[in-house]
Chain A
């Protein structure tokens, strides 16, 4: 049977915040959330190292038990958290290209071979000038062993894996920095999902 062709992707343009960036969507946690709170910060840079001040970053992640709020994640033994949806959005700041999220560190999620993946956040980046969504993942620097064993990480060329690991910045709650370089030296790994 013939399959239908996909509707082509287009840029979200410079004015997406009218439709897509609701207030407070970069705070994924609310009172009583289970798990370790973290802060994710970073900036988006173009091929000349200039800040990209009109990018939208979306995050999708499992809760502290490693469960996604989705009907296909049928693992009822891992409780859903009423205080955590797992989805957030942040628009980069116009002058600096900076973004931040307040969230929790996700628990591990299984891969199709039945092994546990290293804890990670899934990011989608779109901006004026990106014609397709860019998918990437954020891994944690304090999970070195799990990161090395991670199925997806092992598919990434060795010399580029570092671009997927956030840098610890300390603080309370612990802050992790994940800068996204669209081009050039240290170009972030983007995933064909």
Chain B
């Protein structure tokens, strides 16, 4: 019987992540588990995941300004968002499925429940895109800057401009869903979701303007690298033991 490869991941760095219960973000109060997570040993169930087998994406899926399929182009400031997915050792992580979703340039989601903010929908903008990281760990999207929008968390609450990112890497245990924010946004310090991340790590969610990413006469550009959990070391081949 062949032995499968079970990679060893270090413990999840909970100190880099938000707490489960963060009362300033009111929705956490009744939804955060009250009991400690049960620490388990990693088995093939945790060290594998659906990322590497993902297929069926095309270039068009990564261009949110045109992928509504209407033949028209989304309104708003066109940007390129690119970067690398790295593991904790600094190694690029290829074959990672990245799925993003966001509000349109006016701050409205194309979602039936986003009906309280009287901002216009854009028929040429769905607000979702996908890509898979290349061999060098890079990803690249074309989209528009999402608008900030009000939400009912507290009086006169506004979410800063952000793009939701979902990463499905090589292992289930490395699953990451996060949000990308924009450098210099004055709403960042007022946002309990952004502030739920510890002070030392929250700036890791902020993309930087990068003139090298811009394309002349076409789009400005932002760079944002993402770090997910990675194996501590390559396991030895059991047949050599």
Binding site for B on A (CB under 8 A): 1, 3-20, 46-48, 50, 52, 54, 58, 60, 62, 68-77, 85-87, 94, 109-112, 117, 120, 122, 124, 126-135, 137, 151-152, 155-157, 160, 182-184, 187-193
A interface, over-half SS: loop
Complex: A127 Cα to B113 Cα, angstroms: 15
Contact A130 B28, beta carbon cutoff 8 Å? yes
Residues of chain B lying within 8 A (CB to CB) of residue A20:
99, 101, 166
CB neighbours of A151 from chain B (8 A): 41, 43
Q: How far is the CA of A47 from the CA of B238 in the complex (A)?
A: 46
| CA of A193 to CA of B5, assembled, Å | 17
Q: Which of B72-80, B131-139, B192-200, B214-222 contacts A (4 or more CB under 8 A)?
A: B192-200
B10-45 interface (Cβ within 8 A of A): 11-13, 16-20, 22, 25-35, 37-45
Cα distance, A9 to B172, chains bound together (Å): 14
- In the complex, per-residue mask of B204-230: 1 if CB is within 8 Å of any chain A CB, else 0: 110000000000000000000011110
Taking a contact as CB atoms under 8 Å apart, the answer to whether A111 and B43 are in contact is: yes
- Assess the A7–B31 pair: CB atoms within 8 A: no
Q: Report the bound CA distance from A183 to B4 in whole Å.
A: 36
Could you list some 23 contacts between A and B, CB below 8 A? A4-B90, A6-B201, A8-B197, A8-B201, A9-B178, A9-B197, A10-B179, A16-B164, A18-B110, A20-B101, A20-B166, A68-B48, A70-B50, A72-B44, A85-B53, A129-B26, A131-B193, A182-B31, A182-B33, A187-B33, A191-B37, A192-B12, A193-B172
From B4, B12, B31, B226, name the one whose CB has the most chain A CB atoms within 10 angstroms.
B31
Interface centre among B26, B30, B179 (most CB of A within 10 A): B30
- B6 at interface (Cβ–Cβ under 8 A)? yes
Q: Which residue of B lies closest to A88 (CB)?
A: B50
CB-CB under 8 A for A112 and B6, given A20-B166, A193-B40: yes
Chain B residues with CB under 8 A of A122: 45-46, 172
**Which one, B19, B37, B45, B100, contacts A190 given CB within 8 A?**
B37
Within the complex, the shortest CB–CB distance from B222 to chain A, in Å, comes to 15
Interface size class of B (residues with CB under 8 A): 35 or more
Q: How far is the CB of A180 from chain B (nearest CB, A)?
A: 10
Per the bound structure, the CA–CA distance linking A5 and B202 in Å amounts to 11
Residue-wise, chain B 154-185 has the 8 Å CB interface mask toward A (1 for contact) of: 00000000001010001011011111000000
Contacts of A50 in B (CB 8 A): 30
The answer to whether B42 touches A193, judged by C-beta atoms less than 8 angstroms apart, is yes
Among B19, B86, B111, B202, contact of A15 (Cβ-Cβ < 8 Å)? B111
The one of A117, A133, A192 in contact with B43, judged by C-beta atoms closer than 8 angstroms, is A117
Contact, CB under 8 Å: B53 / A4: no
- Whether the pair B27, A15 counts as a contact (CB closer than 8 A) is no
The reply to whether B1 and A75 form a contact with Cβ atoms under 8 Å apart is: yes
Q: Is B62 engaged at the interface, CB distance under 8 Å to the other chain?
A: no
Bound complex: CA A187 to CA B38 (Å): 12
